[in-house]
Structure 1
Amino acid sequence: MRIGLFAAAALAAAIMAGCVERKPATAAFSTEEAAFIKQSGNGVIVGHAFRTRPSGTVVNAAGQVVRLIPATAFARERFANFYGKGKYVPHRAYPADDAVDPAYSEYTRTTKAEANGRFSFDKVAPGSYFVTTQVIWGDEDAFSREGGSVYDSVTLTGKETEPVQVILSGN
């Protein structure tokens, strides 16, 4: 019985370690602050989204939607609440209720990752952005899937002569 209680306590601790304390939002979404994403620029962001499984096998974000999000006060708070101090959140730790201002999604850009996990955004205006996607694997009907959400941040000054590269691996 003690071993069973110990195993249950260890499992609960492992689950809680993956959790992030989510705080109530204090910043409201501002279309004015996010408006730069709708401007056309000369910037190009190219990237690779993947996770490395515990076995060492690399899993690409094949076919996943990749989002380019202006790093507004609202988005910075949202990302801090969702990711905590890391750049990865396991699928099992996603919040059950993630209601957000509908205008927030209108001020993002999306693309799809290719089979090799590569993606790109072109004609990007200068500004600071979050780039995020999911890298999920396992049976879609399973109780719990593996992988999760990854992100990184990037800033374009408007003076770039080469594409800005971003790696979404959660590290």
Structure 2
Amino acid sequence: MASSSFSAEEAAYVREPGHGVIVGHAFRTRAKGQVVNAAGEVVRLVPATAYASQRFASLYGRAKFIPAASYPQEEPDPRYAEYTRTTKAEANGRFAFDKVAPGRYFVTTQVIWGEEDALFREGGSVYDEVTLTGKETEPVQVILSGK
């Protein structure tokens, strides 16, 4: 999938202390207009390194949504997860990351619905990109809806 190799040095800024705050809402709108929130889902803050950028481009193409049935089987470099911050979305799909260092990030989670034992569940993975300059005085808002 990703042709560049993971670089811990390039991703290290995710571990640096910062003053930035990212707040967001993760949801998908079903065909009939019903909104499904990412209640209780893990939300990831991924430093937008060359490795991560290639990975996201390969997974999502030009979209910001991957159907659950299309999830890749290939596992990323194990260090990739070590240089990712996580939080959990609240019942209403809202989430926050505080003390974020300046840099470019991918924010991603999944919004899934349907029976847990079903062969194929509806929904999938959503993401967006955010950049913190270090000069923000208000939280940076991100909407993860797949659009």
TM bracket, shorter-chain basis: over 0.9
Matched residues, number: 147
More helix by share: 1
**Partner residue, 2:46:** 69
Q: Matches of 1:33 and 1:84 in 2, distance apart?
A: 23
- 1:140 paired with 2:106, answer no
RMSD: 0.6
TM-score norm. by structure 2 comes to 0.99
Instruction: Summarize the alignment of residues 73-92 of structure 1 with structure 2, pairs less than 5 Å apart.
Output: 73-92=50-69
- 1:53 paired with 2:17, answer no
Any stretches of 5+ residues in structure 1 without a counterpart? 1-23
Q: Matches of 1:28 and 1:134 in 2, distance apart?
A: 25
Q: Matches of 2:33 and 2:43 in 1, distance apart?
A: 24
- Select the structure with the greater relative contact order (CA < 8 A; seq sep ≥ 6): 2
Q: CA deviation at 1:25?
A: 2.4
Following TM superposition, where does structure 1 have runs of at least 4 consecutive aligned residues deviating by more than 2 angstroms? none
One-letter identity of the residue aligned with 1:67: R
TM-score norm. by structure 1 comes to 0.85
Q: CA deviation at 1:26?
A: 1.3
Q: Matches of 2:141 and 2:90 in 1, distance apart?
A: 16
How high is the sequence identity, in percent, across the aligned residues? 72
Q: Matches of 1:136 and 1:79 in 2, distance apart?
A: 19
Higher Rg of the two aligned structures: 1
Any stretches of 5+ residues in structure 2 without a counterpart? none
